[in-house]
Chains A and B, each alone.
Chain A
Amino acid sequence: MGLESRGGPAWLTTRAETFVNWARGNSLWPMAFGTACCAIELMAAMVARYDLARFGSEVVRFSPRQSDLLIVAGRISAKMMPVLETIYRQMPEPKWVIAMGACASTGGEFDTYAVIQGVDQFIPVDVYVPGCPPRPEALIEAVMRVKELIGRERLSDYRAPDGASPV
């Protein structure tokens, strides 16, 4: 296009939206909500051997206000659900949620009085990871899927409280 032909290979034109999505998708800050065995695989995905940092998601924030990807790893008891809900609410928009493992997705083998039968009954989940526990590769695949979802974001979907569009 015009600018590129005039500025040479150092120039690239794109849409603001695409650029924002590209930046977002490559700097996801996960909020790790690990309550059971799945969290061990989550840790394995973070550290050297699988190294989620290769995809820009190494900054695990144990503060929901600084993160945009909630990874629910483990079973959630009915007593823990209010905590998870609070953390979900504290995360700034836009945010994504991964339900990692059978327990977070469906309750898994714990079909009992105390365990929530899938967190998607109560908070919106974007990507489910099957497995008990899922291997680190599966979690990485889920993060790739989240990136894919981020690619679909349209800035015009979001509006300021006064109704103004960001673009």
Chain B
Amino acid sequence: MAQALMTETPVRADAGRFGGTPSIELRDVSKFFGQVPAVSGISLEVRQGEFLTLLGPSGCGKTTTLRMIGGFELPSAGEIVIEGEAMGDRPPYRRPVNTVFQNYALFPHMTVGQNVSYGLEMTGVPKPERQRRVAEALDMVRLPHVENRKPAELSGGQQQRVALARALVNRPAVLLLDEPLGALDLKLRKTMQLELKQLNREVGATFVYVTHDQEEALTMSDRIAVMNEGRILQLGTPGDIYERPRTRFVADFIGQTNFLEVEVIGSDGAAVEVDLPGSGPLRARPPEGVPAQGTMTLAVRPEKISLMADLPGSEIPGWDRLSGRLEEIIYVGTYTQYVLRLPGGQELAVHRQNRAVGEGEHPMGETLTVVFNPQSAALLAD
């Protein structure tokens, strides 16, 4: 099964939802601000109705990419096609796209109702229909009875919903969202994440979502494009990105990962045998797109590693096994992080689920043996 999922564009259970012409196509799009490259040759196809997230560190070009789709910036090179039409230098008001701005950008001199109906008014929708659709849209974001209030009289979360309603009421083919939950507290963020995802399914519009919060990206997206320095490093489903990162940057940016420098010894097709200095041979999943040879990085996530002592029964055949001295214990709530010092001097973080209170605690300095499935250990070229 793991092999089947490794194809370039993974087959998903709900693949039927997407199809036909792509909703958005970026063809080798670049953007320079003066001499500064903000986006350097991005090519991307977003499918109809898809929830696609642009994820990356600050300054990697997410906002710039989104603004080029919205028409607020024009590409320095390349082409953007929306719903089969090349956008060229079309201004925002002539694109089938609506945006939810990071700071909401609700018009302060208009009521909530006027804000939401603004787009309909601009496209000449008659008044009775406008009123009906505004009420519908506010209902959809679960915010009735605020039509006559000014945006300043609403909480941040409510303003957020108004901004969503104002965009969705126009039934855009594409909805662009630039860190729309950035200003909300954690709890509200989580609620809104679910609601956004739900709205995406309900209205069927394509959502392009920008965030630098990896957890948010993982929970909400159909696919994630991980960006760095103006390029897309990897594009795939959340599972893909998390379980099969192609580069050290992706593995490091999303979740926590142990990186161990290893030497490739040999390969038997299903797994690659490598040598970890000081600890001896290990087996790992074959790398994707690059040959397994020379010095490589073995990437394994802390939660994929178990303490031998915790596993019922004895050794699991074919699993990798390491021993190290327990040097650090960090209690994190749902799990405890153990940091082991391996014989070769490397550090290895292990996450151990906190089940029963006080069960199976280990003192500092104890030598622990840990195991993990070789399929959870990725070999990276960099």
Query: Do A and B belong to a common assembly?
Result: no
A interface residues, Cβ below 8 angstroms from B = none
B interface residues, Cβ below 8 angstroms from A = none
